[in-house]
């Protein structure tokens, strides 16, 4: 199946340009090219998305920070506007390695870090290796430690054949996110933005692989990676941390919020009772200025 051309991508983006007016760059990696937003000037801040979103998730935060910061927002390989190679090792370790290469290439020096969903273990995987390059951390409904909990609606997406049909055939994971990850319904143009990069079986490859890469037993290859990150989180304990939590998240529940506070007892935490997993959609009016103040 042919990849979407650059011109086709530009045309597809036109309906969301008022929401996503950012310039993107390309960075070559083994196996494909990574797309990333690079906006503004000032102290750098790196925003890391999860599954099944892309840099579009951070559009309001980019707009709120770029006046005083250089804002870097990569689309993980297989996500957003990045390449979507089919025969590719879509694992947590690979995503950490990709981020490491990108940040080394950009040579930003110390950065502030904002993480959500899979952006948590990816970002913390990088940060625990480079604590001297981390200034402050903002955590949005994510985890960087193991948990035995996996909601049934995600577990079903891991089943052989059935999971492929749901995730890659019917686009159930992305479509479900636009409904089940928010408390307040998304506007049609916002929903279009989330669906845009994942229009066919080919383009949903990373969505499926992220789901399969959730480690639920010690025999899973990513189990040891997450466990290793958790063991090294102590190296970041003295870094200022702000936790902004959607209280109606059925996936990253308050169990995970308690896990962060156990590991970072000095963190400032705020729970939004009327927000879901896509906490930046439901509570952006409160979150964007709060993050800007925290990073200022």
Tell me the average pLDDT across 52-71.
Answer: 98
Tell me the average pLDDT across 1-15.
Answer: 59
Measure the CA–CA gap between 296 and 294, rounded to whole angstroms: 6
Token digits for 15?
A: 């309906």
Token digits for 272?
A: 């939004």
Q: Which class is 6-295 in CATH?
A: alpha beta
Residue with tokens 């159930």: 172
Examine the pLDDT at 79 and tell me if it is beyond 70: yes
For the stretch 149-189, pLDDT in tens is: 899 999 999 998 999 999 999 999 999 999 999 999 999 99
Per-residue pLDDT, 9: 62
User: Cβ–Cβ contacts within 10 Å for residue 124, how many?
Assistant: 27
Per-residue pLDDT, 102: 98
Measure the CA–CA gap between 208 and 290, rounded to whole angstroms: 34
For residues 172, 173, 178 and 183, what is the CA-based torsion angle, rounded to 10 degrees?
110
Per-residue pLDDT, 133: 98
Lowest mean pLDDT among 12-26, 82-96, 220-234, 235-249: 12-26
User: What is the 3 state secondary structure string of 80-142?
Assistant: CCCCCCCCCCCCHHHHHHHHHHHHHHHCCCCEEEEEEECHHHHHHHHHCCCHHHEEEEEEEEE
Tell me the average pLDDT across 106-118.
Answer: 98
Cβ(79)–Cβ(49) below 8 Å: yes
Q: What residues contact residue 9 under an 8 Å CB cut-off, 6+ apart? A: 81
Per-residue pLDDT, 8: 59
Nearest residue to 249 via CA among 141, 134, 126, 117: 141
Examine the pLDDT at 4 and tell me if it is beyond 90: no
Per-residue pLDDT, 3: 39
Per-residue pLDDT, 12: 83
Examine the pLDDT at 2 and tell me if it is beyond 90: no
Category of 27 on φ-ψ map: left (φ > 0), alpha (ψ -120 to 50) or beta = beta
Nearest residue to 53 via CA among 254, 172, 252, 198: 198
Examine the pLDDT at 65 and tell me if it is beyond 90: yes
For the stretch 131-147, pLDDT in tens is: 999 999 999 999 999 98
In the chain, what are the domain boundaries?
6-295
For the stretch 249-265, pLDDT in tens is: 999 999 999 999 999 99
Per-residue pLDDT, 1: 29
Examine the pLDDT at 279 and tell me if it is beyond 80: yes
For the stretch 116-133, pLDDT in tens is: 999 999 999 999 999 999
Q: Average per-residue pLDDT in the chain?
A: 95
Per-residue pLDDT, 5: 43
For the stretch 211-233, pLDDT in tens is: 999 999 999 999 999 999 999 99
Handedness of CA 61, 63, 69, 70 (dihedral sign): positive
In the three-class reduction of DSSP (H, G, I as helix; E, B as strand; rest coil), residue 208 is classed as helix
Measure the CA–CA gap between 181 and 141, rounded to whole angstroms: 11
């Amino acid at each position: 199946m042919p990849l979407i051309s650059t011109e086709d991508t530009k045309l597809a983006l036109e309906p969301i340009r008022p929401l996503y007016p950012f310039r993107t760059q390309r960075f070559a990696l083994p196996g494909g090219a990574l797309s990333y937003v690079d906006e503004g000037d000032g102290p750098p801040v790196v925003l890391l998305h999860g599954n099944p979103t892309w840099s579009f998730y951070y559009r309001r935060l980019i707009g709120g920070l770029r006046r005083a910061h250089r804002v870097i927002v990569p689309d993980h390989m297989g996500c957003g506007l990045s390449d979507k190679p089919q025969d590719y090792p879509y694992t947590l370790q690979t995503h950490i390695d990709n981020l490491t290469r990108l940040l080394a290439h950009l040579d930003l020096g110390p950065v502030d870090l904002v993480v959500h969903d899979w952006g948590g273990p990816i970002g913390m995987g990088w940060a625990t290796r480079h604590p001297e390059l981390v200034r402050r951390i903002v955590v949005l409904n994510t985890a960087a430690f193991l948990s035995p909990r996996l909601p049934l609606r995600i577990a079903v997406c891991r089943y052989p054949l059935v999971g492929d049909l749901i995730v890659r055939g019917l686009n159930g994971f992305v479509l479900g996110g636009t409904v089940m990850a928010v408390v307040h319904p998304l506007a049609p143009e916002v929903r279009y933005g989330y669906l845009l990069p994942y229009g066919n079986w080919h383009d949903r490859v990373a969505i499926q692989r992220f789901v399969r890469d959730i480690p639920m037993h010690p025999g899973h290859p990513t189990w040891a990676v997450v466990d290793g990150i958790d063991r090294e989180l102590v190296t970041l304990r003295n870094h200022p941390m702000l936790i902004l939590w959607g209280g109606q998240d059925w996936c990253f529940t308050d169990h995970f919020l308690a896990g962060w506070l156990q590991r970072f007892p000095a963190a400032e935490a705020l729970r939004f009772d009327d927000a879901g997993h896509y906490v930046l959609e439901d509570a952006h009016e409160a979150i964007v200025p709060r993050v800007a103040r925290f990073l200022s």
